[in-house]
Copies of this chain bind each other. A is one copy, B any other.
Amino acid sequence: MTLSKEDTIIGFIGTGVMGKSMAGHLLRAGYQVLVFNRTKARAEELIQIGAVWQDTVEKLAARSNVIITMVGYPKDVEEVYLGKDGIISHAKSGSYLVDMTTSAPDLAKRIYTEALAQGMYALDAPVSGGDIGAKEARLSIMVGGDNDVFNALVPIFNCVGKNVVLQGNAGAGQHTKMCNQIAVALTMIGVCEAIAYAKTAGLNPETVLKSIESGAAGSFSLTNLAPRMLTDNFAPGFYVKHFIKDMTIALASAQEMGLLTPGLELAKSLYEQLAQQGEENSGTHALIKLYLQKDK
């Protein structure tokens, strides 16, 4: 399967913070891009640089041959692919369908199977790297699906990411993203408890970071997020509410597989407490707030 840039019409659904950056890279790389988003205003910037607005998923699907989705929750993914007005009912046979939303592995498998029954090729391809990774086109892209289909789409993935890896069959991209989120969640708890301990013990947390960040305690979170905790900068790189969604998927998936993940369970329950305190739109590093109020 080859897919020349000239013969490719990309339909991009979901132009939020991540999707907007990604679709922009595709446009600048010279692809024709059609766009749909629930809130049209969020697609305006893309329309101004050449994206062509479609007012329904149905129309977008019928006019594209590569359809990329970057939506919110698994229920949104389900609706946009499997709903009666959705992609699989309206896309052309031979189309490539790429869900880049972080979503449930089982749903990715269902989409793969239903797409194939209509002669369409689906991949699950969630990303990590956040808004900055999307902006700078250096996302890590974790892909599940068929090898041929993956190869056909690598040029497109390379426009938005740097670390593009086929992880296995349908669902494997989502499973890999779950591994990522599990590691992120526990590391964040460790960083928060270390900083809460430091503050409570009367240490200077900045000086503590100087001693611990370059050694065995070192992590992306300790280097990049701990300093934001110390300056009370809780602007979202990644939202608490989306992290809870991801952990909910990961935990359900682990439980289905019969795997015990007490760390993940704890992380999910701590983040749910945090969300209940009105922090669902804060960045994930706002978890430190839960610790610092508790000991007062």
Contact = CB atoms under 8 A, between A and B. Distances in A.
A175 interface: yes
Given A167-B207, A212-B176, A266-B266, A190 B197 contact: no
A252 interface: no
B295 A140 contact: no
A266 B270 CA distance: 13
B163 A210 contact: yes
Nearest to A141: B211
A41 interface: no
Interface stretch (A45-53, A80-88, A115-123, A256-264): A256-264
A260 B180 contact: no
A180 B194 contact: yes
A193 B295 contact: no
Contact of A198 (B176, B195, B260): B176
Name A's interface SS.
helix
Q: How many copies does the complex hold?
A: 2
Contact of A260 (B105, B130, B194, B295): B295
Nearest to A192: B263
Interface string A184-225: 111101111111111011111001101110111111111000
A220 B218 contact: yes
B179 A208 contact: yes
A239 to B, nearest CB: 13
Given A168-B204, A175-B197, A194-B180, A260 B291 contact: yes
A215 B167 contact: no
Nearest to A126: B211
A220 B211 contact: no
A129 interface: yes
A167 B260 contact: no
Interface of A: 105, 128-130, 133, 140, 142, 163, 165, 167-168, 172, 175-176, 178-187, 189-198, 200-204, 207-208, 210-212, 214-222, 238, 250, 253-254, 257-264, 266, 270, 291, 294-295
